[in-house]
Amino acid sequence: MPAASPAKRAFFSLSVQFGGLCDIVVLLSLAGTWIGFLGSLWWFFDLFDHFRLQYLAVSFAALAWFLVRRKWRLAVLALLALGANGWPIAGTTLQDSQSAPSIHTDRSRSIKLVCFNVLFANKQVSQIRDYLMAQDADVIGLLEFPPQLEAALEPLTQTHPHGIRCSDDSPWGIALYSRIPIEGAKLRTYGTEEPLSIEATAKVGDQSVLVILTHPWPPSSHRARLNQQTQLEGIASRAKDHGAGPVIVMGDFNATPWCNAMRTLLDSGPRLKFAPDAAPWVPTWNVHSALMLPIDQVLCSSGLVFQRREIGPDLGSDHRPQVLEIALH
């Protein structure tokens, strides 16, 4: 058999080099899967834990790539990464899904809420006002609440006269509007000096529902991550102290449902959970970006049932609003 020409040998050599380079790139992409599990050791590792949706897509692509290239051991590694990322995501929808009780249709025993991080520099205040007024919600929680939006929402105080507001030209403004009577509405912190949250008790049917609106710091440093974790632990403790009464915790948690900080909240306060059928893994932040994350959430205690969760439209913020209907057992 004649020897391959130099040009042909060079082509095959280049192909092998390109394929090997792609293998390395794919393996590096999968590395975030495993680094994320080390989040309890260092705050920077914990950042990797948030991107399970992205790793899941990379794992699918990696599995296909290695199967095509007949790299069986690497294909097994990609399959393990697929499971390692898929399980935490699936776990947010599987919890307690085996015991969904019947839902009351009595409107007096249900509550409709809107929760929205409006972005303090948002200029679309009229669109936000129109959207909120069209939702016919009982309780509206707003984060990054600026003075210009507070002025634009003055008509909302006619239909939602109850609540408390603290506007600010920063990410830490916060407001709660309610058309149903609430008691004990106050600005407070949970184990930290800042940022502020809102706590109030709403009367729903014959029950007093504790409502907490919160916006922890993003975990961008060791101090910020510790602040976030302390705040979520404090909220879990407060929910536990509420006894058998129903609790709703909503906000921009700056934490995905499967990350260490959110696990702290769920593990410290076993009464709180996501809605099994509300797809808490659906992104609400930077939804048109490859870095989209589901960090806006609502959790409730076992005394409540999620009827509906809807992610709202683009209103000029980097977050999307949440619309929720929750009923008493």
Per-domain residue ranges of the chain? 6-94, 101-328
Torsion angle (degrees, nearest 10) of CA 28, 34, 39, 42: -50
The model's pTM is 0.89
* Burial group, residue 269, by CB count within 10 angstroms (0-12, 13-18, 19+): buried
In Å, how far are 52, 56, 196, 287 from 90, measured between CA atoms?
Answer: 11, 11, 32, 20
DSSP 107: G
Rounded CA-CA distance 205/264 in Å is 31
Strand order in the sheet with 174-178: 162-166, 174-178, 139-143, 110-117, 322-328, 304-311
Rounded CA-CA distance 215/136 in Å is 24
Beta strands 197-204 and 304-311: pairing type?
A: unpaired
Rounded CA-CA distance 147/5 in Å is 74
Rounded CA-CA distance 31/84 in Å is 12
Token digits for 236? Answer: 């879990």
Residues 6+ apart with CB under 8 A from 100: 276, 277, 305
Domain covering 101-328: architecture: 4-Layer Sandwich (3.60)
Q: What does each of the 329 residues of the chain score in pLDDT, given as a tens digit? A: 455 555 544 434 444 466 677 677 677 778 889 999 998 889 999 999 999 999 999 999 889 988 998 889 889 989 999 999 999 998 877 655 434 455 545 677 899 999 999 999 999 999 999 999 999 999 999 999 999 999 999 999 999 999 999 999 999 999 999 999 999 999 999 988 889 999 999 988 888 899 999 999 999 999 999 999 999 999 999 998 887 789 999 999 999 999 988 888 887 655 788 866 678 899 999 999 999 999 999 998 888 888 889 999 999 999 999 999 999 87
Token digits for 119? Answer: 């972005």
φ and ψ at residue 322, rounded to 5 degrees:
-110, 135
Residues 6+ apart with CB under 8 A from 128: 116, 118, 122, 149, 152, 315, 316
